Chain A
Amino acid sequence: MRNQGMKNAFAFVLPAVAILVLSLPVFAHHGTNISYDQSKPVTLKGVMTDFNYRNPHPQVFFDVTDESGNVTHWAGEIAPTPFTLSQHGWNKSRSTEALKPGTKITITLGPSRAGAPIGVVMKIVNEKGEEILDQRAGEQ
């Protein structure tokens, strides 16, 4: 009986936390969110090919290989500016090291509404399960 109660409790806790986390949109200035749909996030496993820690918004470039071996070149827009990232401890050298070419990442994006392999980055996690950059800091 008690175990059933716990199961029920978790059945509510997990969606509640998930809703809370996923409802934190990545803000970007200039109305960038019109280009991306954060209500339908996609999560991909990829390998970093390049990273630009530059204005107006840093960018990640990574390859995603499907089951047939086809490679898609993806790009992601980091909503926080370099200034905002640095205020949260993600300066250029730390960010560049964490996302150097060859790094395997699991990345969640709000995809391009136009269908391009581009998205606004909502979360990046490395192979150790560490979250890279601070996506909550993007309000401009």
Chain B
Amino acid sequence: MRRCFVRSTVIGASLLYAAFCFAQASQSPSKKVTDWGGQAEGPAPARLPPINPNEKFDPHDFSGLWRPATGRSLTDGRMMTGWDKVPPRTTWGEQVFQSRVTGRPGPQKKAVEPAKGNDPIMTCNPKGIPRLLFYTGGQAQFYQIPDQLLMEFQSQGSIRHIWMDGRELPKSPDGRWMGYSIGRWEGDTLVIDTIGFDDRAWLDQWGNVYSSDMHFQERWRRTDRDTLEVVYRIDDSKTYTRPWISDTKTWKRQAGEIREELCAPMDENFFNEKVRDPAAGVIHK
């Protein structure tokens, strides 16, 4: 009995200590780093000060550096919803979905090594909108200027223009990687409507689909100094038999500066040739 108690105590203490060490390591500041090698990003980002419960913020001011937050599951923040809420696809939507081969498994599709997939970003093609919104690995700087909200995405250095001057959506827009966006305020909710997509881009890293006919709507709210909440909606009858409305997603304000994260084909090709492809048995001769 006593031995069991000692074992349990020791194991419990060791697990707590390991968790403590892990937490410390995760939060480890980079204060010892003083040589930034001439790069422009400067010192390691400072942490934001704690929020004062009485701290005021302007719910109509989205300017600043933000990052989509991840949740408990792998798909949180990275997909519209979990798989159980994906609307039934049309025949066209299903054909396109099944043609997309990726390293991410889904309930209706087997995953393959990334080297054997056909995700267009693996060769530096644009992520586009909406996919950039589902890339939790990068930040985005929002700028509010007269008549426009600009979103600068760290990933691929993409710029998105959201027209806030009251204009209408174009009647017959050309397809664009980023779509054509207009925004308006409904109370404290920023509503963004986007049409005119290039449907060669994937919705997310699982290869989910949208067509060039999609109407994509975002409803953003700033709920405190450091938090944006957003719900996305897809209306795309060419791809889905009913609208697809996302879970509520959270974006968190970030300290520091946006960093360059361009996809350089020469770097991507080198990585593919030397590492990603041979790791999967794909040999270049």
Stretch binding the partner chain, chosen from A62-70, A91-99, A122-130:
A91-99
Q: Taking A8-B7, A13-B14, A140-B137 as contacts, is the C-beta distance between A31 and B279 under 8 angstroms?
A: no
Contacts of B103 in A (CB 8 A): 30-32, 34-35
Size of B's binding interface in residues, CB under 8 A:
60
The distance in angstroms between the C-alpha atoms of A119 and B278, with both chains bound, is: 10
Q: Which residues from A are CB-within-8-Å of B114?
A: 30-32, 34-35
Inter-chain contact B261/A34, CB cutoff 8 Å: no
Counting CB contacts under 8 A, is A107 at the interface?
A: no
Contacts of B259 in A (CB 8 A): 83, 86
B10 CB contacts on chain A under 8 angstroms = 9, 12-13
Binding site of B, secondary structure by majority: helix, strand, loop or mixed? loop
Contact A81 B137 (CB under 8 A): yes
User: Are A55 and B275 in contact (CB-based, < 8 A)?
Assistant: no
Contact in complex: A92, B278 (CB < 8 Å):
no
Instruction: Decide yes or no: A31 and B102 within 8 Å by CB, A136-B26, A139-B70 being known contacts.
Output: yes
Partner of A93, one of B26, B37, B111, B280: B37
Q: How large is the interface on A (under 10, 10 to 19, 20 to 34, 35 or more residues)?
A: 35 or more
Whether, in the assembled complex, B175 has its beta carbon less than 8 Å from a beta carbon of chain A, the answer is no
Q: Across the interface, which residues of B come within 8 angstroms of A9, CB to CB?
A: 6-7, 10
The answer to whether A87 and B44 have CB atoms under 8 Å apart is: yes
Whether the pair B276, A83 counts as a contact (CB closer than 8 A) is no
CA distance A35 to B117 in the complex (A): 12
Residue of A nearest to B268 (CB): A56
Q: Which among A21, A24, A54, A90 has the highest number of chain B CB atoms within 10 Å? A: A54
Is the pair A136, B276 in contact by a Cβ cutoff of 8 Å? no
Interfacial residues, chain A to chain B (CB-CB below 8 A): 5, 8-9, 12-13, 16-17, 20-21, 24, 29-32, 34-36, 52, 54-57, 59, 61, 75, 77, 81-84, 86-94, 96, 112-116, 118-119, 134, 136-137, 139-140
